[in-house]
């Protein structure tokens, strides 16, 4: 193309974008190459299973391959840092939750980021958090478990979570404080290794996000699902008792909401493109069915960035309130 004509073309394109209320770079197609979906835990856990369900739909929406990459360790901090170290161009995003985006900067001095270093594209699900016990513990309900724990007060029960200062760890601490019981926390790099040791009898109980694999282990007699900390259960989990059935702690209600995050500074239209893909995914009956079978309550599509921002603020405020109740200092303030 002749230099003058090419310059005229570029000027015309820029003008057209400006008239349409879009910056000049928005004329570029997005995406033009594969995208990376970061899961901040090892393969095989609840987050990984959920992410791979969404990755299939995202690939269809974006008409590009979506590659799932797992980064376990640091209670999600390693995966979160992976997204923040990538260019803010929309090609790398996080399958995240308060456990990785909000808690580490509030509690871990090694976290070099703040929650607002991310932009929230949209929520996807709320996971059911369950308490499970190893084979041999004579408890089938939450109240039976609490009675057993009191009998063992001289020899504290050990419990597994996905890491130090994870939301699950804080729930265990809050439960111990509420009951005045000395639980001993055993941290793991993800749900899969924690579950393996629970099934092997190396820990007494675990607080983890529900997965369908728990059912098979329960049928094999390797563990028992005692209760969920949800107020009400997802359609596929009506057989699990919600915490509201407990006579001792019916108000100990906790869930963990998840969604997709990008690095702050990512162009707004690219965040919106991910939000649109999320909305398309959560409306697919087969995806909703698979997620609900995994114990998740599936969100409705988020219509705007303002809605997403409000949901993110609620997430941050909820975690801050839990820390305050435990008397923990919030480093993000």
Contact in structure between 75 and 162 (CB atoms under 8 Å): yes
- Give the confidence band of 234 by pLDDT, cuts at 50, 70, 90: confident
Domain boundaries, the chain: 29-126+256-326, 128-254
CATH class of 29-126+256-326: alpha beta
29-126+256-326 shares its CATH topology with 128-254: yes
* Strand ranges for 13-157 from DSSP E: 35-39, 66-70, 92-96, 118-134
Token match 């899961």: residue?
39
Angstrom distance (rounded) from CA 211 to CA 96: 17
* Alpha-carbon dihedral sign for residues 133, 319, 295, 164: negative
Q: Is 261 exposed, middle or buried (0-12, 13-18, 19+ CB in 10 A)?
A: buried
Summarize pLDDT for 47-105 with one digit per residue, the tens.
898 999 999 999 999 999 999 999 988 878 999 999 999 999 999 999 999 989 999 99
Summarize pLDDT for 17-44 with one digit per residue, the tens.
444 444 444 446 899 999 999 999 889 8
Superfamily of domain covering 128-254: Periplasmic binding protein-like II (3.40.190.10)
Best CA proximity match to 287, nearest among 84, 102, 61 = 61
Global model pTM greater than 0.95: no
Share of the chain above pLDDT 70, in %: 92
Token match 């499970």: residue?
132
Q: Output phi, psi for 165, to 5 deg.
A: 65, 20
Q: Please tell me the predicted confidence (pLDDT) of residue 18.
A: 40
- ∠203-208-211 over CA atoms, to 5°? 115
Summarize pLDDT for 320-333 with one digit per residue, the tens.
988 988 999 999 98
């Amino acid at each position: 193309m002749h230099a003058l004509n090419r310059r005229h073309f570029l000027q015309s394109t820029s003008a057209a974008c400006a008239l349409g209320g879009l910056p000049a770079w928005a004329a570029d197609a997005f995406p033009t190459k594969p995208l990376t979906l970061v899961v901040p835990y090892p393969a095989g856990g609840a987050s990984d299973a959920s992410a791979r369900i969404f990755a299939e739909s995202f690939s269809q929406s974006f008409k590009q391959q979506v590659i799932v990459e797992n980064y376990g360790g640091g209670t999600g901090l390693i995966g979160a840092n992976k997204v923040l170290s990538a260019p803010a161009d929309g090609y790398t995003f996080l399958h995240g939750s308060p456990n990785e985006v909000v808690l580490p900067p509030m509690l871990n001095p090694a976290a070099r980021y703040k929650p607002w270093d991310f932009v929230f594209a949209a929520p996807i699900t709320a996971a059911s958090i369950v308490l499970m016990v190893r084979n041999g513990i004579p408890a089938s309900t939450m109240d039976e478990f609490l009675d057993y724990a009191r009998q063992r007060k001289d020899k504290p029960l050990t419990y597994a979570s996905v890491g130090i200062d994870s939301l699950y760890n804080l729930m265990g601490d809050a439960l111990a404080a509420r009951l005045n019981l000395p639980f001993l926390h055993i941290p793991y790099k993800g749900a899969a290794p924690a579950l393996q040791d629970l099934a092997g009898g190396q820990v007494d109980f675990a607080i983890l996000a529900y997965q369908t694999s728990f059912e098979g282990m329960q049928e094999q007699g390797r563990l028992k699902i005692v209760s969920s900390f949800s107020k009400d259960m997802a359609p596929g989990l009506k057989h699990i008792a919600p915490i509201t059935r407990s006579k001792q702690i019916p108000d100990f209600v906790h869930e963990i909401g998840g969604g997709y995050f990008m690095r702050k500074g990512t162009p707004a239209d690219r965040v919106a493109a991910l939000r649109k893909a999320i909305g398309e995914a959560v409306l697919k009956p087969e995806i909703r069915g698979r997620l609900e079978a995994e114990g998740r309550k599936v969100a409705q599509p988020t219509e705007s960035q303002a809605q997403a921002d409000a949901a993110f603020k609620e997430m941050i405020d909820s975690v801050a309130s839990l820390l305050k109740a435990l008397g923990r200092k919030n480093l993000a303030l």
